[in-house]
Amino acid sequence: MVMTIETNTKDAALESLLKDMPSLIEGLRENRETYLTDAVLLGEIPSPTFGEEDRVRLALDRFRENGLDDPEIDDLGNASGILPGSEGSSSILVMAHADSVFGSDVRHVLNVGSDYITGPGIADNAIGMAAVVGLPNLLEKLGIHLKDDLLLLINTKSLGVANLEGSRGFLETKQRPIRAGICVEGAEQGRLSYSGLGALRGQINLRLPSNYDWHRFGAAGAISHLTRFVSQVMEIPVPKEPKTKMVFGEMHSGSSFNTSPRSGSLRFEISSEDDEVVHEMETQVNELCEQYSMETGIHVMMEVVAKRKNCGIPFTHPLVKTTRSIMSEAGVTPAVDPSTGDLNSIILAGHPGVTLGLTSAENVREANESIKLEPLYSGMAQMITLLRAIDQGLCES
């Protein structure tokens, strides 16, 4: 009986939050200058993984300007700050990664049109960062006051070989009671991640020995060997159930038209819903390396640069259910998408969490990456409504 009353009260509270969404969207449209400006200013500072200092420094300045408590940069380069709640008995973590796939040599110039922003890294993840950095200002302008402390984090070292080092390190050292976490990504609106996928990121390094016999049968340069090796790796069966994927992401070798290169490398990722499958495939790739080395006299080695386990909260968890209701109210169809990103760090640290995408994007991770502004307002409203729902205890079992 008590449980039913409590459930009814929670339903009513969520209903009331959902009713506020249209006016929240309008409020966010009216106040868009705050976060769009931050997105451009942050996005125009190059921030490759392991080189995020300058961008993070601006985020920290904003934390200070917005009056957060304890604004700081930790040993891993993460910037964080706290917006104290009226009760402050627990915290809600809202975070966005600062690093981008674009190097410092890429021109980080963004263009702003009436209904879009274009430029490298705007979707992944300058607009996500801006949403986090601008939250204190936005909440104040929108007249929203939280009971919980709001713990804001701009984390470094998220992508690629960094293996979530920034967020993992932060959550290991930040000893605060965290009620739930929201990872904010620029795209894609409707994305709903509540589980982290087991994954392995590896690099195959292939090198011809200094005494390589170019006259031997089958002798070839590193590119030929690398392609032969890749076709052998592609023969490894990839199961459909449990869902598993192998992606070849990057390959490097050679420097000119007519010189046979002596070394090359390949970067790939295996992800699966089953950690055992990842492990088995890792073993098979290692065996292939060994076999290829012995058969050809070429040095082929696999280096594991990142590895993470499956983790997650159930589809029926109140945090996930509430997020789905909010998306539905915003007119967005949720697309369940297991994450290989910072959500893993939140969940592995023992906190419930989800990853949300703010808006629609095109050409993500290309120089002409672009976000649409119109969907952004409902994307932001979705994030703030979820924050309020967590604050009101609507996302707990």
Partner 1 sequence: MTGNNQKWLDDNTFHHGEFWDILKLVEEKEKKGLKISLCIPTLNEEKTIGKEVLILRSELMERYPLIDEFAVIDSGSTDKTLEVASNFGADVYLASDILPEVGNKRGKGENLWKAIHQLKGDIICYVDADISNIHPRFVYGLVAPLIRREEVHYVKAFYDRPLNYSSGLRSSGGGRVTEILIRPLFSLFYPELTNIVQPLSGEYAARREVLENIPFPIGYGVETSHLLDLYDTFGLEAFAQTDLDRRVHRNQTTNALGKMSFGILQTFFNRLHAQGKIDKLPDLETFYRRFEVEDGVYSQIAQEVIEEERPPMIEIQGYLNRNQ
Smallest gap from Cβ 304 to partner 1, in A, equals: 36
For residue 87, the one-letter residue type is E
Nearer residue to partner 1 within complex by CB, 43 or 341? 43
Q: If binding is defined by CB under 8 A, does position 391 make contact with partner 1?
A: no
Chain position carrying tokens 């909260």: 313
Q: If binding is defined by CB under 8 A, does position 368 make contact with partner 1?
A: no
Segment interacting with partner 1 (CB under 8 A) among 104-112, 190-198, 348-356, 388-396 = 104-112
Nearer residue to partner 1 within complex by CB, 110 or 320? 110
Nearer residue to partner 1 within complex by CB, 112 or 251? 112
Please tell me whether residue 251 adopts helix, strand or coil conformation.
Answer: strand
Between residue 125 and residue 144, which ones bind partner 1 under the rule CB under 8 A?
Answer: none
168 CB burial (10 A radius; 0-12, 13-18, 19+): buried
Segment interacting with partner 1 (CB under 8 A) among 75-83, 112-120, 255-263, 333-341 = 112-120
350: left (phi over 0), alpha (psi -120 to 50) or beta: left
> CA angle, corner 67, sides to 29 and 35, nearest 5?
25
Q: If binding is defined by CB under 8 A, does position 269 make contact with partner 1?
A: no
Segment interacting with partner 1 (CB under 8 A) among 103-111, 168-176, 185-193, 236-244 = 103-111
For residue 375, the one-letter residue type is P
Nearer residue to partner 1 within complex by CB, 104 or 283? 104
Smallest gap from Cβ 221 to partner 1, in A, equals: 30
Smallest gap from Cβ 230 to partner 1, in A, equals: 32
Nearer residue to partner 1 within complex by CB, 91 or 370? 370
Nearer residue to partner 1 within complex by CB, 118 or 392? 118
Nearer residue to partner 1 within complex by CB, 83 or 327? 83
Segment interacting with partner 1 (CB under 8 A) among 108-116, 200-208, 259-267, 270-278 = 108-116
Between residue 239 and residue 258, which ones bind partner 1 under the rule CB under 8 A?
Answer: none
Of positions 111, 173, 283, 291, contacts partner 1 by CB under 8 A:
111
Strand order of the sheet with strand 263-272? 244-253, 263-272, 198-207, 299-308
Smallest gap from Cβ 117 to partner 1, in A, equals: 8
Pairing mode of beta strands 353-359, 191-193: antiparallel
Write each residue from 24 to 63 as x if it is in contact with partner 1 (CB under 8 A), else as -, in one continuous string.
---------xx-xx--xx--x-------------------
Asked if 95 and 167 count as a contact pair (C-beta separation under 8 A), the reply is yes
Strand order of the sheet with strand 178-187? 69-73, 79-83, 149-155, 91-97, 178-187, 353-359, 191-193, 335-336
Residues binding partner 1: what is the number (CB under 8 A)?
15
Q: Where are the beta strands (DSSP E) in the chain?
A: 69-73, 79-83, 91-97, 111-112, 116-118, 149-155, 178-187, 191-193, 195-196, 198-207, 244-253, 263-272, 299-308, 311-312, 335-336, 353-359, 361-362, 370-372
Smallest gap from Cβ 119 to partner 1, in A, equals: 10
Chain position carrying tokens 């920034």: 166
HEC string for 161-173: HHCCHHHHHHHHH
Asked if 359 and 29 count as a contact pair (C-beta separation under 8 A), the reply is no
Residues in contact with partner 1 by the rule CB under 8 A = 33-34, 36-37, 40-41, 44, 65, 107, 109-114
